[in-house]
Amino acid sequence: MTDDPRTPDPSGAAAAAARLPAGTARRLARQLKDLAEPVRLRLLSMVVASGHEGIRAGELSAAFALTKPTVSHHLKVLGEAGLVARERSGTQIIYRSTPVAQRLHTVLSRFSRPDPSGAPAVGDAHEGLRSVLDELGIEERAERPPWPRRAAADRPLPGLLDPEDLLDRVQERLTIRFSGMFSPETVQRYLRDSYEMLSHSAAVTAHLPAVTERFAAERLTAIAQRDGIADKTVPEVLFVCVLNAGRSQIAAALLRHLAGDRVQIRSAGSAPAEGIDPMVDEVMAEVGIDLCTEFPKPLTDEIVHSADIVVTMGCGDACPVYPGKRYLDWQIPDPAGQSRPVVRRVRDEIDGRIRAELLPDLLG
């Protein structure tokens, strides 16, 4: 048996560290494939180097003497890989690197320079792969200390925790939960669709698989009730506003607080925000209601179709209209960006409308 530390030991920690979950391997393969183009990798390095300020496509074109369409194509590929985010600033489009790209770029840059610590050269294929996997924090958890005991620098970056593995587990749970109602293929389709919808507005992707499970379950339940596959035992109310970060969240939370499980309550937004408005969260906490588990959700056809009462607040014509439902349009100011007293008044006005216009019919 050789003493060469570079010799793979299938039974040891090195082999364990190299075992990748299937979803993680697929994601890394896609991202590395997208970066396996010199110009694209250099473009990413410039976007990463631009930091929080970001960089315009025109600056990238000038730096590399490339046409704008060529740069735009490469940036689109990097965006689809989750490595670059674009944001409009006036008439300009600003590109910024994502946390995933920053960590990945830092790790990959080690291949271009020797390790000052004297560790084995990254050019060695076996050691190089192990080094990258260790840096990305995606090795087998059994070989590492439990999460609370790990130093902050050792913890996997949330954006690098592969969603594919988590979504596979979510799919298994939902398939069991809706067994006899929907085929595994239908569950998978709505789960993936829900994930894509939420990913467009989610601010923290680390929690995306968890909230996707809730959202997909709501949609599947609504379809089952709409199609008569599952019984509807209580009346259902849907609150809709634009961002699903203020008014509709306040209304859903207040009605849930007042009616409990005697009413099925949902909320949605025609253009969901990244998260609940912080001031809304604070003024709801003042009355003993915690919104920490809530999140903005997009408005979907089946959610509207399943509701008995639809209450809209400033979303215009975004909400589809179906016969046989009760529609209420509440003209209530948007609390976004408002002071605490203003948001309190919004909360109290919604509370009064719920008590006067909904509770008498819902609870009889």
Beta bridge partners of 95: 55, 86
Determine the Cα–Cα distance for residues 337 and 271; give it in Å rounded to an integer.
Answer: 17
Between the two ends of the chain, the Cα-to-Cα distance in Å is 80
Helix (H, G, I), strand (E, B) or coil at 232: coil
C-alpha neighbours within 13 Å on the C-beta side of residue 349: 15
Beta bridge partners of 87: 94
Annotation marks residue 241 as catalytic: yes
Three-point CA angle 243, 286, 342, nearest 5°: 55
Backbone phi, then psi, for 88, in 5-degree steps? Answer: -85, 135
- Please list, in sequence order, all residues whose beta carbon lies within 8 angstroms of the beta carbon of residue 315, skipping any fewer than 6 positions away: 240, 241, 242, 269, 270, 299
- For every residue of 247-316, DSSP letters joined together read HHHHHHHHHHHHHGGGSEEEEEESS--SS--HHHHHHHHTTT---TT----B--HHHHHH-SEEEESS-T
Backbone phi, then psi, for 204, in 5-degree steps? Answer: -120, 105
Catalytic residue, from 265, 268, 319, 362: name it. 319
Task: Name the DSSP letter for residue 92.
Answer: E
Catalytic residue, from 28, 166, 208, 241: name it. 241
For residue 129, what is the enclosing H or E element? helix 125-136
Beta bridge partners of 328: 311
Task: Print burial letters for 81-96: b (CB count within 10 Å at least 16), e (below 16).
Answer: bbbbeeeeeeeeebbb
Determine the Cα–Cα distance for residues 28 and 161; give it in Å rounded to an integer.
Answer: 11
Annotation marks residue 315 as catalytic: yes
Tokens representing 70?
């060529």
Beta bridge partners of 327: 310
Annotation marks residue 292 as catalytic: no
Catalytic residue, from 35, 237, 279, 315: name it. 315
Enzyme catalytic residues: 241, 315, 319
